[in-house]
Amino acid sequence: MIKIEIAEVKRKIEVARKDIPNVPKLADEIVQLKNELNIEKEKEKKLAEELENPNNQKRWRDLGGDDPDQEALEAKIQVLEERLNNRKEALLEKELILDEITSLSEKLRTQALEGRQSSLELSEKVNEFQVRLKELTRKMMATISELSMFQATSLKLQQEKEQLETIVEEAKERMSQGLPPTPETEIEYQRMVRDKARYEQERVIIKLYYVIF
């Protein structure tokens, strides 16, 4: 067993002797990697300073999305208000027509009771007015439903507008204090820094592993 171990040690020594000519080259690689690491550290320091500088307008990035801005929301609200007013006017007009038809229907019923017109003619007119009354009632109910829908949509857009205004004001306040616009951006930046540092550390460890073995 001792002879086997001695033979194994001699083999490792021979392998190590073969790698001796590569030592200067590996040492140069280590120096080069250290230089690259220093360069990357300088870049990281510069990026951190730019990110922490509240006067830097390029320290944020657009996350995309289709959220409407304040002007778009105001335009939508204005359009909905105009449509709402039109619906209200139409509803008022139908109510006036309904009142007029109801009044005429009552007059016709009164005339029928008094015998001033023939029963058949009055019955036809009453039926005609009742049909018109039902149709107008149906249209009026549909208009009321549509009006409620517009009101709900207008309220939702108003709430979205207020939320966006709050987010923008909070972001401006944080940026004036030298902070990221939102806590999420700070967390994302810290994660990127950690990932980059871990990647550089792993690269150095791998290079050192090849140097040693």
Same domain, 26 and 89: no
2 occurs within a structural domain: no
Count the domains in the chain: 2
* CA distances, 59 to each of 69, 142, 150, 184 (Å): 21, 52, 40, 14
Q: What string of pLDDT tens digits covers the 213 residues of the chain?
A: 777 888 888 887 887 777 777 777 777 888 888 888 989 988 888 887 777 776 766 666 666 666 667 777 778 888 888 888 888 888 888 888 878 777 777 777 776 666 655 566 667 777 888 888 888 888 888 888 888 888 888 888 888 888 888 888 887 887 787 777 777 777 777 788 787 778 777 777 776 666 555
106 occurs within a structural domain: yes
Same domain, 76 and 170: yes
Residues with Cβ < 8 Å from 16, sequence gap 6 or more? none
Same domain, 96 and 156: yes
Same domain, 205 and 114: no
Q: How buried is 203 (Cβ within 10 angstroms: 0-12 exposed, 13-18 middle, 19+ buried)?
A: middle
Q: Both ends of the chain: CA-CA distance in Å?
A: 25
Q: Which domain holds residue 97?
A: 70-178
Same domain, 42 and 76: no
Same domain, 186 and 171: no
Residues with Cβ < 8 Å from 207, sequence gap 6 or more? 29, 30, 33
